[in-house]
């Protein structure tokens, strides 16, 4: 991967979306944040993203339905699913690059996961 890391972030809680986008973005990363899976699908269709980060609990289409739709088009998509408790499903069966993180997560945890998925060193300063 070269150039900035492009992240599509889907979170329906506007405050969480605003602040997490701010924490994720820097000169090495571009973050596009949307509030629903439907907007996520539309954004995913418009351009290519290196990583998708989505909440499970979204208003109409759920985060998991979004993940399944994305993986149908791109089985190797890098996806991080955020959830208020640990997901019991077998993420490896969904795709080789699907991970999950439990809320509330802090920046170093998300950084470690991004590094694990994208193989880039952390861009955020450690806490």
The residue ranges that bind other proteins (CB under 8 A) are: 13, 15-16, 18-20, 22-23, 55-59, 62-64, 83-85, 87-89, 102-107, 125, 127
Can you tell me the distance from the alpha carbon of 24 to that of 123, in angstroms, rounded to the nearest whole number? 9
| Minimal distance, residue 116 CB to other proteins, in Å | 19
| Choice between 22 and 46, CB closer to other proteins | 22
**Nearer Cβ to other proteins (3/27):** 27
Burial of 55 per CB tally in 10 Å (0-12, 13-18, 19+)? buried
Q: How far is residue 90 from each of residues 9, 19, 93, 98, measured CA to CA in Å?
A: 22, 30, 6, 10
- Least distance (Å) from other proteins to the CB of residue 1? 25
Output phi, psi for 106, to 5 deg. Answer: -110, 170
Q: What is the closest distance, in whole angstroms, from the C-beta atom of residue 48 to other proteins in the complex?
A: 26
Token look-up 């759920």 returns 62
CB of 60 to other proteins, least distance (A): 10
């Amino acid at each position: 991967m070269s150039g900035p890391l492009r992240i599509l972030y889907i979170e329906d809680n506007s405050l969480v979306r605003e602040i997490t986008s701010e924490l994720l973005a820097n000169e090495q990363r571009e973050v596009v944040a949307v509030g629903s899976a439907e907007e996520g699908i539309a954004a995913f269709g418009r351009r290519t993203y290196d990583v998708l980060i989505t909440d499970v609990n979204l208003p109409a289409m759920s985060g998991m339905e979004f993940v399944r739709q994305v993986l149908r088009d791109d089985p190797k998509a890098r996806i991080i699913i955020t959830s208020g408790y640990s997901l019991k499903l077998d993420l490896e069966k969904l795709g080789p690059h699907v991970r999950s993180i439990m809320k509330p997560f802090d920046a170093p945890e998300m950084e470690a996961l991004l590094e694990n998925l994208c193989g880039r060193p952390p861009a955020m300063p450690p806490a």
